[in-house]
Structure 1
Amino acid sequence: MEYLLPPCGTVTTSMAALQAHVEPATIRDWVRRGILTRCGGTPKRPIYRVDDVDTAAKAAKPTRPGQRSAKAA
């Protein structure tokens, strides 16, 4: 079940994706890569701090060899 209204100062994965202008899969990837950390929720319905999402969106992302860049498109 998705939160109707998460605790103040936090967002769900979907809300974090809207805030950061990315797909929800990108938010999950940032968590996997250690760029963003969960602050609560359940394993299937995590929540994130709004400030952490902003910081992650602005952070320089490590690249992998051979990875396409957004600027090349």
Structure 2
Amino acid sequence: MESLIIRPGHLTAHQTARVLGITLGGVRQLVRRGQLTRSGGTPRQPWYKLADVQALDAKRRAREAA
């Protein structure tokens, strides 16, 4: 497996799933629904902007707290 060097300020799909507390399939669903946008990487190993993931996490936590 080829190792990719990820740009600063970005997360891999695995890291994104861990931050959001969901599965990789859940990350794919967020992308499919337009709630999260890929910002680099490859089709098989996408990256997501850290700021976007943090904003989505905060939004999800606020909804759970309400």
Question: Measured at CA, do residues 57 and 9 of structure 1 come closer, stay the same or move farther in structure 2, by a change above 3 Å?
Answer: same
RMSD between superposed Cα atoms in Å: 2.1
Question: What number of residue pairs does the alignment pair up?
Answer: 61
1:4-59: CA deviation from partner (whole Å, max 9, x where unpaired): 65211101100001111111111110000000001011111110001111122333
- Larger Rg belongs to: 1
Structure 1: runs of 5 or more not aligned: 61-73
> In the aligned structure 1, how far is the partner of 2:20 from the partner of 2:4?
20
Structure 1 length-normalised TM: 0.69
Q: How does 1:1-73 map to 2 (within 5 A)?
A: 1=1, 3=3, 5-59=5-59
What amino acid is aligned across from residue 17 of structure 1 in structure 2?
Answer: A
Cα distance in structure 1, aligned partners of 2:2 and 2:46 = 10
More helix by share: 2
Structure with the bigger RCO (C-alpha within 8 Å, sep 6+) is: 2
Name the one with the larger strand percent: 2
Where does the alignment leave 5 or more consecutive residues of structure 2 unmatched?
Answer: 61-66
Amino-acid identity (%): 37
Task: Give the alignment's TM-score, normalised by structure 2.
Answer: 0.76
